[in-house]
Amino acid sequence: MIACPPALHYKQTMRKLWMAAFASLVILAGTGSFSTASPLAPTLATQLTTPGAAQDAGDAKAAWTLVAPGLELANLSHTETGTEADKVLITALRIDPARYDFCLYSVLWDSPQLLTSAEWAEQFDLTAVINACMFLPDGRSPTAYLRRGEESHRQIASNYGGFFVSGPHREGLPRAAVLDKSDEGWEDLLSQYDTVAQNMRLLSAEGQQLWPENGPQHTIAAIAQDREGKILFLHCDSQVNVHRLVRALLAQPVLDLAKAIYVEGGSQSSLTLRTPGYTHTWTGTSPADLLLGAALRFPLPTVIGIRPRAD
């Protein structure tokens, strides 16, 4: 199975970015980061609002800040040349599935209108929200297989090799996971979960690079799983191609990545963290934003959210 997306997918991605940039959207001047603040622990506030505080790849101990039990935040950076121009900034939210439920929400089922990631979080009382998958030019339909319970859209795409799953139907399965088409019995595993969102892989099952060196440069949202089974919501705050992001991720020992999938790129990429009294959103940018001279807070048709487990 060829996991690396063909040139056609790159062209479609860029076309979608340019079309969306001129759509009817909420345009806010400033950078790609938005907060509504109340009193908050100073360390966490610094992590949220100061990308310059990012940890270098070699600092594996001090990177994580505790947000809540089972929820940790890290601002990470990676440079291959030692220059600011080469620096890749990554925001990582590490989630323990033993403490959090993962929920899929979509305009197809849950809302009559598109919502930003912060609005999804507010409306459905979610602690964190990230893109669930890419979408077609209609702004609503997923590009690949999407399922929640008995509701599903599209068939499994042959050239998309990864899946985010949650809500197992039986004991003994991880409560949330990133699956790979190279996993033995992956089709049967999909049927054992309530929620499935198909996406392109960032890594091979062996942890190797899959993406070509040349590609559109933009911010990127991703979902990953570490070797302990924790789930990572990732937002690359720098405009880079996917190949460069994968190199940066593989250079981060604090992430300890086992699997990772690409869920969105450009202005539509978004990650929201919502704590009591404080909401912070990392939003994406693309080359189109440079023409408009503003940061765009895009509404998203489908998201993955988390909330603390009730039991």
Every domain of the chain and the residues it spans: 7-308
User: Using the 8-state DSSP alphabet, how is residue 119 labeled?
Assistant: H
Q: Which residue has the tokens 């807070």?
A: 297
Provide the whole-model pTM: 0.84
| Rg (alpha carbons) of the chain, rounded to whole number | 18
pLDDT in tens, 238-264: 999 999 999 999 999 999 999 999 999
Q: Is the pLDDT of residue 53 over 90?
A: no
Neighbours of 9 (CB within 10 A): 16
Mean pLDDT of the chain: 83
pLDDT tier at 36, thresholds 50, 70, 90: very low
Phi, then psi, of 85 in degrees rounded to 5:
-65, -25
Of the candidates 223, 220, 202, 230, the one whose C-alpha atom is nearest the C-alpha of residue 305 is 223
User: Using the 8-state DSSP alphabet, how is residue 203 labeled?
Assistant: B
Q: What is residue 56's predicted lDDT score, i.e. its pLDDT?
A: 54
CB 144 within 8 Å of CB 158: no
Q: What is residue 258's predicted lDDT score, i.e. its pLDDT?
A: 95
Q: What is residue 182's predicted lDDT score, i.e. its pLDDT?
A: 92
User: Using the 8-state DSSP alphabet, how is residue 46 labeled?
Assistant: H
pLDDT tier at 1, thresholds 50, 70, 90: very low
pLDDT tier at 46, thresholds 50, 70, 90: low
What is the token pair recorded at 244? 């460069």
Q: Is the pLDDT of residue 13 over 50?
A: no
CA distances to 7, 29, 237 from 292, rounded to whole Å, are 27, 10, 18
pLDDT in tens, 189-216: 999 999 999 999 999 888 888 998 888 9
What is the token pair recorded at 146? 């999407």
Q: What is residue 278's predicted lDDT score, i.e. its pLDDT?
A: 80
Phi, then psi, of 204 in degrees rounded to 5:
-75, 170
Compute the residue count for the chain.
311
Q: Where are the beta strands (DSSP E) in the chain?
A: 26-28, 33-36, 65-68, 71-78, 88-95, 100-106, 128-131, 146-148, 151-153, 162-168, 176-180, 193-201, 218-226, 231-240, 257-265, 270-275, 278-283, 295-297, 302-308
